[in-house]
Amino acid sequence: MSDKRECLPEPGEAIIQVRGLQNRFAEHVVHEHLDLDVMQGEILGVVGGSGSGKSVLLRSIVGLVRPSGGEVVMLGERLDQLSERRRVLLERRCGVLFQQGALFSSLTVTQNVALPLREHLKLSPADAEHLAAVKLALVGLPAHAGGLSPSELSGGMIKRAALARALALDPDILFLDEPTAGLDPIGAAAFDQLLLTLRNAFGLTVFLVTHDLDTLYTTCDRIAVLSGKRVLVADTLSVVEQTDDKWIRDYFHGPRGRSAQLAKHSAREA
């Protein structure tokens, strides 16, 4: 890792601050006066009902959606006041895994992971692909996977390849949008354990959009629930579970929620 980590907040301090966020698309209001802090070194799970704006919030924080109002401060930088040069430098400190992986179908897996290394660090193709191979090994992909095209990968391998690309520039913050969607329970559980290993090994901060209750119970330090165009609650699972709200009761205390709780307790006792 580079010396950029010297500029990080202390654990437990905010690395991302969202204040008064508003997102409107024509007459449709997605977010209104939304506030949220993401703490250094935590895995924050973001949940909410369909249409609550989970992915829009992620995209607003990483700069892919320009908010209608409010402000986002990340790593001490207010996004709407950055020069182009400062924005590029900040983007290098963030890794993003999009839904479905979003790998380039015309490139091999290795070339996909090497692309940010070539674009941002101006590495030669050979050097970039050498580092890409290291990243692919880091996320548990076999060496031969690098020469495959995305269409030749299984769903779990696509997620890991996309994660390797997100990690290519050694980011401080990792943004994951539904990383276990579409995976079988074994593949999803393996991805959850990989995420924990990477966070603990590299001190990553993780912003995780998910609907997967097993992922929430296995990996997350805190949960932020989006409801009514803002953050209803952002706290530990035990606090969120007890929040007096119909959606939270249905989500965390329904059959799937009880199953996830039981699985977590069984894992602790094993």
Distances (CA, A) of 215 to 17, 54, 60, 231: 24, 16, 23, 20
pLDDT band at 205 (very low <50, low <70, confident <90, very high): very high
Predicted local distance difference test score (pLDDT) of residue 151: 92
Domains of the chain: 14-92+212-270 (3.40.50.300)
Contact 148, 103 (CB under 8 A): no
Predicted local distance difference test score (pLDDT) of residue 108: 95
Largest CA distance in the chain: 56
Contact 117, 131 (CB under 8 A): yes
Predicted local distance difference test score (pLDDT) of residue 101: 76
Which percentage of the chain shows pLDDT scores above 70? 92
Give per-residue pLDDT as tens, 220-240.
999 999 999 999 999 999 999
Q: Tell the residue number behind the tokens 């900040």, with chain if given.
A: 90
Give per-residue pLDDT as tens, 4-44.
455 788 887 999 999 999 999 988 999 999 999 999 999 99
Predicted local distance difference test score (pLDDT) of residue 178: 93
Inform me whether the pLDDT recorded for 3 exceeds 50: no
Inform me whether the pLDDT recorded for 255 exceeds 80: no
Exposed, middle or buried: residue 170 (CB in 10 Å: 0-12, 13-18, 19+)?
middle
pLDDT band at 62 (very low <50, low <70, confident <90, very high): very high
pLDDT band at 2 (very low <50, low <70, confident <90, very high): very low
Report the Cα–Cα distance between both ends of the chain, in Å, rounded: 35
pLDDT band at 268 (very low <50, low <70, confident <90, very high): low
Predicted local distance difference test score (pLDDT) of residue 256: 62
- 139 vs 161: CA distance, rounded Å: 8
Give per-residue pLDDT as tens, 96-152.
998 877 899 999 999 999 999 999 999 999 999 999 999 999 999 999 999 999 999
- 98 vs 150: CA distance, rounded Å: 14
Half-sphere exposure of 119 (CA within 13 A, CB side): 13
Inform me whether the pLDDT recorded for 258 exceeds 90: no
Contact 16, 208 (CB under 8 A): no
Predicted local distance difference test score (pLDDT) of residue 1: 37
Whole-prediction pTM: 0.90
Predicted local distance difference test score (pLDDT) of residue 8: 83
Rounded to the nearest 10 degrees, the angle between the axes of helix 155-166 and helix 185-202 is 20
**Tokens representing 18?**
């969202």
Contact 217, 180 (CB under 8 A): no
pLDDT band at 265 (very low <50, low <70, confident <90, very high): low
What is the average pLDDT across 174-179? 95
Predicted local distance difference test score (pLDDT) of residue 155: 87
